[in-house]
Amino acid sequence: MRGLLFAALCLGTMAVASCRIEDHTPTGTRRDEDAVQEIVARYARRLSNRDWDRVRALFWRNGTYSGPMVPRSAGNALPIDSALHVIARAVEGPEAEAFDVRALRTDFRQEGDLAAVWVTLRRRTPMSGVGPVERDWVEHMVLRRIGPNWRILSVAGSSVPRGRVRDSR
């Protein structure tokens, strides 16, 4: 009986010793997330203000844009300089002041020096003869840190389908 008790005790000790909690905490710091979220906020504000040079400053040199603000006729994924030129031409005009972009929601993920943000945006665009039209869309932003600086590598977006219930979060 003592041998059986001793064997059970040894087996239990081995089982406890072999258990370990796996740590899947994302790499990076709270400061990294704050820096990336600030870039996303600046991106929306600068787009809204039609401050194209300052939007451009948020991107790395070879940044790209592919999304609903660039008409399909302009191409699929464009270098950011070309994309901003196309966007600027599309929203300039007598009703340009009606143009507005707001970030509604962000989902952040970071692995080391690479971060991804899914951001839901609401865009109000002037339409001649109709007035401003509001539309939601989602952009997936990939950002990279080099040294202490975070910048956007790419933005890919898609319009939210019409009739979709908006998330109230």
pLDDT single digits (tens) 28-42: 677 899 999 999 999
pLDDT for res 168: 42
- pLDDT beyond 90 at 159: no
Question: How far is the CA of 8 from the CAs of 15, 60, 128, in angstroms?
Answer: 10, 61, 81
The mean pLDDT of 107-127, rounded to a whole number, is: 91
First to last CA, the chain: 61
The mean pLDDT of 88-99, rounded to a whole number, is: 80
The mean pLDDT of 107-117, rounded to a whole number, is: 95
The mean pLDDT of 108-136, rounded to a whole number, is: 87
Per residue, the 3-state secondary structure of 40-84, as one string, reads: HHHHHHHHHCCCHHHHHCCEEEEEEEECCCCCHHHCCCEEHHHHH
Between vectors from CA 139 to CA 138 and to CA 145, what angle results, nearest 5°?
Answer: 150
Confidence class for position 14, pLDDT limits 50, 70, 90: low
**Percent of the chain topping pLDDT 70:** 76
| Average pLDDT value over all residues in the chain | 83
Whole-model pTM: value is 0.75
Confidence class for position 74, pLDDT limits 50, 70, 90: low
Q: How far apart, in whole angstroms, are the C-alpha atoms of residue 61 and residue 8?
A: 64
Neighbours of 58 (CB within 10 A): 20
